[in-house]
Amino acid sequence: MEVITSRSNCMSRKVCCIIVKEDVQVVAIGYNGTRKDDNNCIEGNCEYYNTPHESGKGCSCVHAEENALKIAERKQIGCNLYCTT
């Protein structure tokens, strides 16, 4: 999971999530990062790090769990979700 975690483009926290069926088949893998059409944080486009924290802006990255669930779709039943945090 640590290798997958390293794929995250979030500057704040690197997280991995894996969804596995009961028969140990990997259904989906996700990691936290910017949305598909947004600029990557690691390329200097992180609003959270580039603005004063008093501005109230939070991290714009999507959670690893959300990314994995989008990939798995709702039809997956009987799965376990494993996350690095």
66 is catalytic: no
Structural domains of the chain, with CATH: 2-83 (3.40.140.10)
pLDDT tens digit sequence for 49-67: 777 656 566 677 888 999 8
User: Distance (Å, rounded) from C-alpha 83 to C-alpha 27?
Assistant: 14
> How do residues 13-30 score in pLDDT, each as one tens digit?
889 999 999 888 999 999
Which one is catalytic: 43, 47, 65, 73? 65
